[in-house]
Amino acid sequence: MGSTDKAKNAADEAKGKVKEMAGDATDNPDLEAEGDLEQREAQLRQAGENVKDAGEKAKEAFDR
């Protein structure tokens, strides 16, 4: 996975956390839920990239 993907996922997760906290602080459940969703989406993208990386490493190991 590229460092750009890692940085984008981390930024999206942080942005979601800020929205979730802002929603909690202002008693806005919609904003809180939106932030939670953004965090989960970023985490899922990260997990997908990790699976992809593991597959590539396994392929490289068998190609030797």
User: Which CA distances in Å does 19 have to 22, 45, 56?
Assistant: 5, 19, 35
DSSP string, 27-49: T-HHHHHHHHHHHHHHHHHHHHH
Structural domains counted in the chain: 1
2-6 mean pLDDT = 82
Q: Give the domain range for residue 33.
A: 3-63
Tens-place pLDDT, residues 14-26: 999 999 999 999 9
Question: What is the pTM assigned to this prediction?
Answer: 0.81
